Amino acid sequence: MQRREFVKFCAVSAAAAGSPVLAAADATPTFYGRVKLIDDSGAPLKAAALPAERNFIFHYPYAATPCFLLNLGRPAKTSVRLATADRRAYEWRGAVGPQRSIVAYSAICAHQLAYPTKEISFISYRAEKSPRNRLGNVIHCCAEHSQYDPAQGARVLAGPAPQPLAAILLEHDAKTDGLTAVGTLGGEMFNQFFAKYEIKLSLEGGAPRATTAATSVVHELENYCRQQVKC
């Protein structure tokens, strides 16, 4: 039997686990292609190779849409009830990996769509506290200080963001220790993102709306991005 550790997110799995089935109006997962996460050298990324509390970036489900991959260094909550800006409820069912500490989220801020580019990033995970970040252990967008809790499905803790970051659904293969992105859960911002940035992204080259191929390279943010704005 294949020993995969699935994020338990869909109504079917929720029912199987004895959880209430989501109502029709609830936000349900959106499944995109299965995309294996690989490292810079092209080898499958191992969950054990992810250092704790560091920012990693990969692109999913589109070639131009960045996501954070984080090892929180501690188990995340296993069930968090959240809602999108248009009040669709959903249940985030926790992290993956041997210590249930690995999470992934869209890196597009749910407020006004700040996102990490190769030139600059206003948004990233911050373990440390600062005068503008009294909480620590949050994904903090320095544009207008939205703060999200990555251990609770990217719940909004502070700032103007109207909803959590969309979660990226991961599978962890316990046999190979590999990670695969399979879909999203929560309030996707992809349509708004492309409406705002598609011309800019097209001028930068490539096809922004192309979906990620079978693999997606995971980069450490400090290697991917020239300047990280800290606040």
List residues near ligand FES by CB under 6 A: 109, 111-112, 114, 141, 143-144, 146, 159-161
Cβ of residue 113: shortest distance to ligand FES, in angstroms?
A: 6
Q: Which is nearer to ligand FES, 33 or 159 (CB)?
A: 159
Alpha carbon distances (Å) from 179 to 102, 136, 170, 176, 212: 10, 26, 7, 9, 15
Amino acid at 22: L
Report yes or no: 62 and 211 within 8 Å, Cβ to Cβ.
yes
Q: Which is nearer to ligand FES, 55 or 146 (CB)?
A: 146
Cβ of residue 156: shortest distance to ligand FES, in angstroms?
A: 10
Run of H or E residues at 169: strand 167-173
3-state secondary structure of 180: strand
Cβ of residue 69: shortest distance to ligand FES, in angstroms?
A: 19
* Residue 172 burial (C-beta neighbours within 10 Å; 0-12, 13-18, 19+): buried
Cβ of residue 158: shortest distance to ligand FES, in angstroms?
A: 10
Q: Which is nearer to ligand FES, 4 or 145 (CB)?
A: 145
Q: Which is nearer to ligand FES, 38 or 161 (CB)?
A: 161
